[in-house]
Structure 1
Amino acid sequence: MRESEHCQVVTATDSRAVAETLADTAVAARLAASAQVAGPIRSTYRWQGDVVAAEEWRVTLRTTVTRYAELEEHIRARHNYEVPGIVCMPIVAGYAPYLKWMAAETKER
């Protein structure tokens, strides 16, 4: 199997407005070809020794592996969490025209 050129990046925040800003600004900056905001979702995690259950909004962004580092930096600069969860997962297969579109939409201009 060849190395993936495309990836999906996921983060979550406690604010719909922040989630929408992350999505909108990443696409506008061509760091992501598309973004989806879903929520509210219920998240459970351990933070500073406590188990926390919280309502959050998930942001899923689709981009290329070469744009990931810039996208991560973009998210970190605009995120409202001290330690935001930012996870990058390779897209190992997909509809070829869609993947081609993703690459075209995330090229630096």
Structure 2
Amino acid sequence: MQEEYCIVITSFSDDENGTHIIEALLDKRLAACVQVMPIQSWYRWQGKICCASEKLMLIKTKRSLYNKVEDCVRSWHAYELPEIIQLPITDGLPGYLGWISKECDPPASC
């Protein structure tokens, strides 16, 4: 059976908080790669329109690990309600997908 892969997206505004999330994901082998890029977010929060400078985090992982990734991000995230969404990877370079599979291999106790 072919492994299924995904990208989990979240964002953060505090670099130290983002680093903690990234290091936890990689240390627990829940992510093969995490990419970060600066973004400007516009949103409605508690009845107000807000704008914030944030960083977007793209987490490459296996779909079977999504719940563990979500738990890890939530346990470290500073936001009251962080964006955590999963996007399926429907296809990709076989060698790259194999690398994700190899790197995302958490111990059973994780």
TM-score where L is the length of structure 2? 0.90
| Aligned counterpart for 2:90 among listed residues 77, 89, 92 | 92
Deviation at 1:22, TM superposition (A): 1.2
Computed over aligned residues only, the root mean square deviation of the Cα atoms, in angstroms, reads: 1.4
SS in 2 for 1:84: coil
Q: Does the aligned pair in 2 maintain the 1:43–1:56 contact within 8 Å?
A: yes
Deviation at 1:95, TM superposition (A): 0.5
> Percent same amino acid at aligned positions?
33
Tell me which stretches of 4 or more aligned residues in structure 1 moved more than 3 Å. none
Deviation at 1:4, TM superposition (A): 7.0
Q: How does 1:30-49 map to 2 (within 5 A)?
A: 30-39=29-38, 41-49=39-47
Q: Deviations over 1:24-80 (max 9, x none)?
A: 2201110111101212x2100110111100111111110000001000000000000
Count of aligned pairs between the two proteins: 106
Structure 2, unaligned runs of 5 or more:
none
| Structure 1, 90-99 or 20-29: larger mean CA deviation | 20-29
Structure 1, unaligned runs of 5 or more:
none
